[in-house]
Amino acid sequence: MPERLVSEPIRPVPDTVAEHPYRVGDPVLPGRFRWRDGEFEVAAVLDAWKELSPGSPAMPDRYVRKHWYRIRTGDGREMKIYVERRGRVRGRPKPAWWLFTIVES
């Protein structure tokens, strides 16, 4: 099945944590999250990576902007989700967790 772009916020279920090796400074990956009208379990983390900010001559340091995860859900779907380290829209916090793409099983 082809990968489908979603790019919508998801809502972590409180007090759930996915089985995943964590490093200091990594966000806690939720074990369950809500998207649209459903609730999904993170059954497996297939891959994880970080997206860094671009450096510039005026600001050469690079910072982690997003933590990405390719996951398999309890119902067999494959999804790419990410969390933004920071961000605001006109003074209001943006949703931190996003569902980027989905591959239906």
Q: What is the pLDDT of residues 17-53, one digit of tens each?
A: 888 887 887 888 999 999 999 999 999 999 999 988 7
CA separation for the pair 62, 29 (Å, rounded):
23
Does residue 91 register a pLDDT over 70? no
CA separation for the pair 89, 85 (Å, rounded):
14
Total domains in the chain come to: 1
Domain coverage including residue 42: 4-103
Q: Where are the beta strands (DSSP E) in the chain?
A: 4-9, 11-12, 32-35, 38-52, 64-73, 78-84, 88-89, 92-93, 97-103
> Whole-model pTM?
0.82
